[in-house]
Amino acid sequence: MFQVLLRLPVCKNRILNIFLLKKQLRLQVPGVITTYDCICILTREFQVCRIKNLKIRYRVIHSRQQVVDYLDNYKEEFGIEPIFHTEAKRIIKDPDAWITETTNGIFKSKYVIIATGAFTKPKPIHFKGMESFPGKILHSYEYKTGNDFKGEKVLVVGFGNSACEIAIDLYEQGAQPSMSVRSPVNVIPRDVLGIPILELSLAMSSLPPKFADTINAPLLRLLVGDIAKLGLKKLPYGPLEQIQKNASIPLLDIGTIKHIREGHIKIHDDIDHIEGRTVHFKDGKKEEFDAIVAGIGYYRDYEDIIDADRSRFEDLKQPVGKQKYFDKGGLYFCGFWISPTGQIREIGLDARKIAKDIARKEKFNKVI
């Protein structure tokens, strides 16, 4: 995690001292692949908040560099001075304050806001026989660019959004990608008749997920087609119910299905075992590969370091507005509820609610 000590003006006559801790070397935007050389915005329009003196304003951000420029200018505008490579190891409550033990010292604060996201620890890679594989095996978080694999046969394991974006990038950079898909999936288009799918989800957010999925099913079948013909298995319930049940996001398709249909990306079953360069799949097929990228996801690991009741973590299954323990003890969580209407939007809503709550407690007249 990186640490930031800043003095943020939150009202005309008062200054709030803030410690911002983050492990990674860079600032990141949820829903945006900032570690990849390529970038994919999953929302059709990434709308930047309009700040009076901000040098760079983009209504729609397309490139990775534009995201980096925006964050750099945001940091400068508010006087945020990041101190990188500071990881929180333990967060405990004493009678008077929160104590955060880090790799760069101990911080004492009245409030703690956990804004790491729900899934932060990469799942370990384990395939039977992987030690015999002579090529590179890496987790998706280590992936940078398909140019590193140009001309190679690469197996991408998984069918989440990151895995599918990596497969597309590999093809566009001259590699030969295949995908190993173990579990049933839901696939939804990014846009429906020019309307971002997340806007449609927002319009249906008041309906029970199962009922909304039933309404949407005919249109999704028309737009996506029969994924079983592509070697994929469909979940027995729809995408909104998937988010509710599993706290996982369906594939927001930006071209993966088209590439599969056109033969640019091959689909394989789950991996059975690896023998040298040969990967054996559970359907009996086998194929040789030069590299393997494991898009197998992340664990929730915040419970390991935060000294809080179990009820606080169970509460995160609800949006901030419905949480019973939203501000208990001065501990807040931002962006932990997996939202069907877009994670960037949800994080913005959470952040405003948290800021207003702290401002109310500190009796600030106005939050800038």
Task: Note the pLDDT of residue 191.
Answer: 82
Q: What is the pLDDT along the chain (368 residues), one digit of tens a residue?
A: 333 233 333 343 444 556 666 565 444 444 344 456 665 555 544 444 545 555 555 555 556 677 778 778 888 888 877 767 888 889 999 888 999 999 889 989 999 999 888 888 899 999 999 999 999 999 999 999 999 999 999 999 999 999 999 999 999 999 999 999 999 999 999 888 777 787 788 888 889 999 999 999 999 999 999 999 999 999 999 999 999 898 888 999 999 999 999 999 999 999 999 999 999 999 999 999 999 999 999 888 778 889 888 889 889 888 888 899 999 999 999 989 888 878 888 888 899 999 999 999 988 765 54
308 with 171: CB under 8 angstroms? no
Half-sphere exposure for 214 (CA within 13 Å, toward CB): 5
Do 229 and 243 form a contact (C-beta atoms < 8 A)? no
The C-alpha angle 342, 347, 353, rounded to 5 degrees, equals: 130
> In sequence order, what DSSP letters do the residues of 183-199 get, joined into one string?
S-B-EEESEETTEEHHH
Q: How far is CA 71 from the centre of its chain?
A: 17
* Spans of all domains in the chain: 3-120+299-361, 126-297
Query: Measured between alpha carbons, how far is 9 from 16 in angstroms, rounded to an integer?
Result: 6
274, amino acid identity: I
Q: Which CATH class is domain 126-297?
A: alpha beta
The residues pairing with 281 across neighbouring beta strands, listed in sequence order, are: 271
CA distance linking residue 248 with residue 245, whole number of Å: 8
Tell me which amino acid residue 154 is. Answer: V
Tally DSSP H helices, then E strands, for the chain. Answer: 8, 22
3-120+299-361 and 126-297 share one fold: yes
CATH fit for domain 3-120+299-361, picks 1.10.1330, 3.30.460, 3.50.50, 3.30.70? 3.50.50
User: Do 167 and 158 touch, CB atoms closer than 8 A?
Assistant: no
